[in-house]
Amino acid sequence: MAKPGIDLATLSDQDVVLQARDGRQAAYRELVRRYERPIFSLIYRMVRNREQAEDLSQETFVKALNAIESYRPEYKFSSWIFKIANNVSIDHLRRRELDTLSLDGSPHALTPEAIQASALQLGDRQETALEELEAKELGGEIEQAISTLRPEYRACILLRHVEGRPYEEIATMLDLPLGTVKTYIHRARGELRQALAHLRQ
């Protein structure tokens, strides 16, 4: 519970973190309220699956808030939580890449029945309401173009142009050299320009 008279919504992130460290549950909730949409949006655009994005966003907040004592106030709280979100997303994408089944069936399937059972069935699937929502939300040309970028480029371009973060902050968040961040963003812009060229014409 917040101290009487303190309006958490008016405090800076750093001050809200101090309140959270004092054990005020309302301060934790305030941090979730401030960042749930930006964090969820970043992760959703990274993994392009609502359900997974929800899980990964939760994981991000749980990790950050349970380690609130290790947050160093000389850095921006937003950089810290975006860094965690990016790490969570990239880890997930790597795992997903490893888990992806071949269209011809699982490489571990030994019998023809097992191969058929594990093969992805194309054409007979029903689109769920969630998938419909995803198709609507991420179906725009720009969203499609972003999805074709490499995950590293995607993270950089989203942080730069959607979140409006400066290059230096992105480099800190992603543990990358500044030059690499600039290169990734320039290449991502080039690929997006190409993908969206028909819109300009």
Is residue 47 at the binding interface for another protein, with CB under 8 A as the rule? no
Nearest CA among 170, 185, 9 for reference residue 76: 170
* CB neighbour class for 129 (10 Å; exposed up to 12, middle 13-18, buried from 19): exposed
| Contact with another protein (CB under 8 A) among 70, 100, 121, 201 | 70
The helix/strand/coil state of 71 is coil
Instruction: Write the CB contacts of 114 (distance below 8 Å, at least 6 apart in sequence).
Output: 105, 106
Is residue 76 at the binding interface for another protein, with CB under 8 A as the rule? no
Token digits of residue 111: 């019998």
Place of tokens 């964090």: 39
Is residue 5 at the binding interface for another protein, with CB under 8 A as the rule? no
| Contact with another protein (CB under 8 A) among 38, 73, 105, 151 | 38
**Angle (CA) 185 47 188, round 5°:** 15
Contact flags string 79-118 toward another protein, x per CB under 8 A: -x--xxxxxxxxx---------------------------
Is residue 48 at the binding interface for another protein, with CB under 8 A as the rule? no
Q: Please list every residue from 158 through 177 that binds another protein, using CB under 8 A.
A: 158, 161-162, 164, 175
- Near another protein by CB under 8 A, which window of 2-10, 15-23, 99-107, 114-122? 15-23
